[in-house]
Amino acid sequence: MATLKMIVGLGNPGPQYVANRHNIGFQCVDLFARRHQIELGKLQLQARIGEGWVTRGGERQKVLLVKPLTYMNASGQAVGPLARYYRVDLADIIVVHDDIDLASGKLRLRTGGGSGGQNGVKSLIQHLGSPEFARIRIGIGRPPGWMDPAAYVLQNFSADEEAVFGPLRLRVCDALTCWLFDGMAAAMNLYNRAADNSRDPVVEASANPAADLA
């Protein structure tokens, strides 16, 4: 039996949040689903999910895509029960989320560690019973001046930001595929480069990133 791997995107449900900075995890999972023709059409255990296969060359991997519908701060209430229901090991879970303390447009992959103040990740740690799951942190930067961080993350990306984050979402999808087939160490080696990490030699990208998000 093929091992099932779980890809979780964090965000808030509802049309008013779709294009928010805080919803970059949802946006990446939606794009990954479209790329691999996986329908996110099932509602189960407070989440929207899609189960399918990802192929690369002659290889294929079974995946479960998850978008919690609990709102960000309670994400673990959906992910914990789903992981137990589908018997997914911690080592086979990866979470995509925004990070306000990481420079805008940067990616960092890691396994384990604290929540870094990200309440969705904090909830996952609580409900999974361990921090030892893989994460893709997507930097959205700090708010300008004295702006409230809570208000900042709930704003939509600006046009200038979208010019960066359109290609970055595609890169996240490439990183997820790398994780699925090559493991976290290989994905970290490719996608944690200190230099500009907006490009990668292995690209499955659409020619029109904006269309992929629509």
Tell me which residues are annotated as active site. 22
Nearest to 87 by CA among 183, 6, 206: 6
Give me 142's structure tokens.
């700090």
Report H helices in 36-158: 76-85, 119-128, 149-153
Enumerate residues 6+ apart whose C-beta is below 8 A from 59: 181
Tell me the angle at which helices 76-85 and 119-128 cross, rounded to the nearest 10 degrees: 40
CB atoms under 10 Å from CB of 74, counted, come to 17
Determine the Cα–Cα distance for residues 90 and 5; give it in Å rounded to an integer.
9
- How far apart CA 81 and CA 89 sit, in angstroms, is 12
